[in-house]
Chains A and B, each alone.
Chain A
């Protein structure tokens, strides 16, 4: 679980027995977000920060995945495909896109 390394305190709110397994934590996540369409709130992060405390701002930590080849990277302005989000490509993230 990625979030564990970055924000150990983020798990304080989850009962221990349930948080131990990924499924358990996901279960809690589902329940706590009942009634909201969370997919719409997380455009680019398919793995939510589980058990995040309310009223805190979080930045998901980047991990090394595949990289663009140099020439494509120069063209796109980044060598990380997960950061390649040209303005306007996702209408949900731009006013005039």
Chain B
């Protein structure tokens, strides 16, 4: 655990890996959210699916907040610090 943290801090590559991993997890959760969104469109009374959707949406929100706190905004609308942080984060083809 400690070793991995040190690696994250020291090696830029490892830090990038951690960031990439977190971003991928966030993408997966957001994809799951969209899938459940589509399912619920045709099954509005499916309570179990609704619970899973709420759960997923909350998890995605938590992870997004964590990511933005650690690595910067994911969308331009989340750029709430000055100087403008948007251009500091990697471009989509760099992430």
Contact = CB atoms under 8 A, between A and B. Distances in A.
Interface size classification for chain A: 10 to 19
Contacts, number: 35
Nearest to A73: B32
A86 interface: no
Nearest to B56: A70
Contact of A64 (B24, B25, B28, B48): B48
B6 interface: no
Chain A interface main SS type: loop
A11 interface: no
Interface string A59-92: 0001010010011011000111000000000000
Interface of B: 24-25, 27-29, 31-32, 35-36, 39, 42-43, 46, 48-49, 52, 56
Interface of A: 62, 64, 67, 70-71, 73-74, 78-80
